[in-house]
């Protein structure tokens, strides 16, 4: 019976090609616009560490000046000072403690055909890898001994390994960065988490660093973050006091994330942070009221406003446009189905039941939805391609991509939307009285 209804739907749609094209276009445009904006919002709302959201915690201490908060109404800095990070790395019970900061250094390939180029480097403690879980293709990260001794080891990203080592297992080989040779101990597989949870202060979207080096080496080389560096007093700057003074200052420039074993340890670590700040207050630091934060990953992304209000508004407007398209489709279907009143009356007279007619016309609506969904999917892909072109070279470029889950969502939305649009016209068509129609013929 379903195949017969599909055949009837195809015949009916071919009979009125202009009306059919209008309905498909209405569904397709609504789906295309709504799914393009929804795809961007979905990517922005992602949580790469959702499976351990409550155990991975972002540490924030309010060491800002007493006169005003770092950000209204009373938000502490999102980054931390070197002094506090090193203290917390030594103290406090946590399963893992990942401190890091980005910088840019020259990479000098051994192959003469490859010219040296600048590359994003992340100086991080070895705990970075178990906390943020980048996929390790070859080898592994480094341990506490390498952190302590500033051992010249490196983990390279997938793209760098492909470019410099031809995609081979490069563990044990040398990589020259910033004028020094580093031994490769690990190679990552493709990894580009969106948002970039480990460092969102300078943009939550875009490519991740391609080379990972022990945190202590960056300090030994007297490097600062290539991202944000903020100070609240004129005396807190490296020009006035030198690099050692910079490290001892309250300038904030480092990321610190901890992973805790359970909720009991989360509560204990929160108490530890409060006790730490109270102790530092005795030495004249932390002039503001106690204002520490230990955000879960989702809370951290929310606090950083990774998903902007404008992005949410755009999605609502796009789905409002889809609703307008559906209302237009309802009108077109109603006109089409009621225009077939004589045919409906004849079918009812020869024995067709209301449920059979309902199934026939709902099948026709579904066909319109599926074809409109295919058109909407094509328009979504074109819209995302246009966004990628518009934002090429910026952090927003990575937002404009669609995965298979969203393809299925697009087709599902199109089918459900068309069925909903077809319910009222189908019900009206089934109310046609056969006797009335036959008398008029």
> Could you state, in chain order, the average pLDDT of each consecutive group of 10 residues for the chain (441 residues)?
72 79 85 80 78 96 90 91 96 94 94 89 97 96 95 96 94 95 96 87 78 97 92 57 88 96 96 96 92 94 77 79 82 73 62 70 79 83 72 53 68 76 72 53 51
Q: How far apart are CA 60 and CA 64, in angstroms?
A: 11
Task: Quote the CA–CA distance of 102 and 320 in Å, as a whole number.
Answer: 42
How confident is the model over 239-286, as pLDDT tens digits?
456 899 999 999 999 999 999 999 999 999 999 999 999 999 998 999
How far is 216 from 214, CA to CA, in rounded Å? 6
CA distance 253 to 139: 30
How many C-beta atoms surround the C-beta of residue 334 within 10 A?
17
| CA angle 357–361–364, rounded 5-degree value | 145
Q: What local confidence, expressed as pLDDT, does residue 294 receive?
A: 96
pLDDT tens digit sequence for 202-218 = 776 777 899 999 999 99
pLDDT at position 122: 97
Number of alpha carbons in the 13 Å side-chain half-sphere of residue 335:
10
Check residue 418 and give its pLDDT: 75
Which has the closest alpha carbon to 368: 32, 10, 36, 34?
Answer: 10
As beta bridge partners, residue 153 has 183
Asked whether 152 and 121 are in contact (CB, 8 A), the reply is: no
């Amino acid at each position: 019976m379903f195949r017969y209804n599909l055949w009837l739907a195809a015949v009916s749609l071919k009979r009125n090609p202009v009306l059919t094209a209008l309905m498909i276009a209405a569904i397709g445009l609504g789906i295309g616009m709504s799914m393009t904006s929804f795809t961007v919002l979905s990517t922005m709302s992602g949580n790469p560490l959702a499976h351990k959201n409550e155990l991975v915690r972002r540490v924030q201490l309010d060491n800002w000046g007493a006169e005003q908060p770092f950000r209204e109404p009373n938000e502490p800095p999102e980054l931390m000072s070197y002094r506090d990070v090193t203290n917390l790395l030594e103290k406090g019970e946590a399963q893992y403690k990942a401190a890091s900061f980005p910088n840019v250094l020259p990479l000098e390939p051994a192959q003469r055909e490859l010219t040296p180029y600048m590359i994003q480097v992340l100086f991080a403690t070895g705990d970075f890898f178990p906390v943020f879980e980048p996929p390790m293709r070859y080898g592994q990260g480094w341990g506490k001994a390498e952190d302590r001794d500033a051992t010249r080891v490196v983990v390279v990203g997938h793209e760098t390994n492909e470019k410099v080592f031809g995609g081979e297992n490069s563990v044990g080989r040398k990589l020259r960065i910033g004028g020094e040779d580093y031994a490769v101990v690990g190679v990552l597989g493709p990894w580009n988490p969106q948002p970039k949870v480990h460092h969102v202060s300078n943009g939550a979207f875009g490519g991740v660093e391609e080379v990972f080096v022990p945190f202590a080496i960056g300090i030994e080389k007297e490097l600062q973050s290539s991202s944000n560096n903020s100070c609240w007093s004129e005396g807190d700057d490296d020009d006035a006091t030198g690099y050692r003074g910079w490290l001892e200052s309250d300038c904030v420039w480092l990321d610190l994330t901890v992973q805790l074993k359970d909720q009991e340890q989360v509560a204990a670590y929160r108490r530890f942070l409060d006790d730490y700040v109270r102790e530092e207050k005795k030495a004249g630091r932390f002039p503001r009221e106690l204002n520490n934060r230990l955000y879960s990953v989702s809370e951290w992304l929310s606090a950083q406003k990774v998903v902007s209000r404008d992005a949410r508004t755009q999605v609502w407007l796009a789905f409002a446009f889809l609703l307008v398209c559906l209302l237009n489709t309802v009108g077109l279907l109603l006109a089409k189905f009621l225009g077939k009143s004589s045919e409906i009356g004849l079918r009812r007279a020869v024995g067709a039941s209301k449920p059979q007619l309902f199934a026939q016309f709902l099948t026709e609506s579904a066909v319109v939805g599926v074809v409109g969904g295919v058109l909407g999917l094509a328009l979504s892909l074109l819209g995302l391609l246009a966004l990628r072109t518009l934002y090429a070279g910026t952090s927003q470029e990575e937002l404009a991509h669609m995965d298979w889950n969203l393809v299925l969502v697009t087709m599902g939305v199109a089918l459900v939307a068309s069925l909903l649009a077809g319910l009222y016209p189908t019900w009206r068509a089934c109310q046609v009285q056969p006797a009335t129609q036959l008398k008029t013929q």
